[in-house]
A and B are shown apart, each in its own frame.
Chain A
Amino acid sequence: MQKVFPFFLEAAWITVLLSVLTTILGLILGAVGASARLSRFALIRFLGAAYVSVFRGTPALIQLFILYFGGPQIGIQLDAFQAGVIGLGINAGAYMTETMRGAIIAIDKGQIEAARTVGLSRFQTMRYVVLPQAMRLMIRPLGVNINAMIKATALVAAISVVELTYTAQRFIGSTYKPFEMFLIAGILYMIIIYITGQAVSWLDRKARIS
């Protein structure tokens, strides 16, 4: 048990790194996607909707395989870690698009009309009236997205990134102790998820006070 533990810690670090990078990419794509879905132009709205529909409508594992194994055929050469971050980030972005859009359209229409009436431009209305309120609304649901995404980082084990699940699988194979290895990896996942959850709650509380 003591022998495998350092390997698990190192793997947990990779899982954390994957989660952080994927969250950043997901948030960026979510913001772009939500803007597209709320655009004035029908074509851009359609592109936003198509992005969400395709990436939420197919398995993340297949998306990852297309990028990592199929990528070289169309000139995209990525190592497994890069493919993992980009693939999972694009997938998470589709879910976050819907979360952000939901928070934005939850803001009362009357406020937007009022802001426009007092002379704010469309952009100013978004920047000073809608977004500050919508941000507050989206923290918790984005936390749910991030929680799901941390667990989804396990998928990159299938393209041989040495993270927690891959490490657990390897040691299950070599020690024949499936339950013990599951518990070690499981507890590490739950620690990561717990800390993330606490951070989200803290942000949410802070946003509510202001």
Chain B
Amino acid sequence: MGLDFTVIPQYLDIILWGALWTILITLGAAAVSFIGGMILAVIALYAPKLVRLPFRAFAFLFMGTPLLLQLFLIYFGLVQVGIDVPAVMAGIIGLGLHFAVYNSELFQTGILAVDKGQIEAARTLGLGRMQALRKVVVPQAIRDVIPPVGNNMIALLKDSALVSVIGVSELTLSAQRAIGSTYRPFEFYVLVAVIYYIINLFMEAAQRRVERRVQASR
């Protein structure tokens, strides 16, 4: 069986819809990972020990196990405790939590890197602990960790392919659908790889632009 790329145009709309979903899922999970990562970082650094420990255990478990395993846990686990979420939501939550743990590590180093004197100055000027954290420390911490967090977001795009395994109709599953009726795996998977690559290039370009702007604002 040779290669025949002429089967692609007929299925291009399905594939492009899949690509759109991949972008939406990536953005949704990125938002979860960003906000979740910041919350986890603040808990890890400032919460009392009793609160900190279970979160540490959670982070430890999520950093030491594969994403695919976590997706199975979240998808089937939620159903088991009676929360029937659509696969898309389970996918976004799973991807988001996975990367929240990684982002949290970065945010922690970012927060710790902000000069202690600034916190003292903010407190002296009359800001509360939370205010000082929110208005002085966190904005600077975010600026410092943009490059590594950007790398995580690019990794997130590629890992979003895994949610196809729990039945989310994104780019990878769309390709599988097209393959199901054409029996042309090579053609469609290569097409999908090219699409991921292009999205990846756009994200890298965006990352460079943000980094330049941040450099300029220093």
Contacts and interface: CB of A to CB of B under 8 A. Distances in A.
B3 interface: yes
Contacts of A182: 65, 69-70, 72-73, 77
Given A59-B158, A66-B189, 4 more contacts: A59-B161, A176-B80, A189-B66, A193-B64
A190 B65 contact: yes
B67 A158 contact: no
Contacts, number: 116
Interface in A54-69: 54, 57-63, 65-66, 69
Q: What is the interface of chain A mostly: helix, strand, loop, or mixed?
A: helix
A70 B190 contact: yes
Interface residues of A, number: 39
Contact of A66 (B77, B158, B186, B201): B186
Nearest to A66: B189
Interface string B137-177: 00000000000000000000011111011000000100000
Contact of A58 (B72, B162, B179, B193): B193
A86 B20 CA distance: 30
Contacts of B184: 73
A172 interface: yes
B1 interface: yes
A179 interface: yes
11 contacts: A62-B172, A62-B192, A65-B189, A152-B66, A155-B66, A169-B72, A172-B72, A177-B80, A178-B73, A186-B65, A189-B64
B197 A58 contact: yes
Nearest to B62: A186
A85 B139 CA distance: 43
Interface string A11-47: 0000000000000000000000000000000000000
Contacts of B196: 57-59, 62
B83 to A, nearest CB: 12
Given A69-B185, A172-B76, A60 B66 contact: no
Nearest to B76: A178
Contacts of A118: none
A74 interface: yes
Interface in B55-72: 61, 64-70, 72
Contact of B77 (A69, A169, A178): A178
Contacts of A179: 73, 77, 80
A14 B114 CA distance: 45
Nearest to A163: B66
Interface string B201-215: 100000000000000
Contact of B158 (A58, A153, A176, A193): A58
Contact of A61 (B69, B77, B161): B161
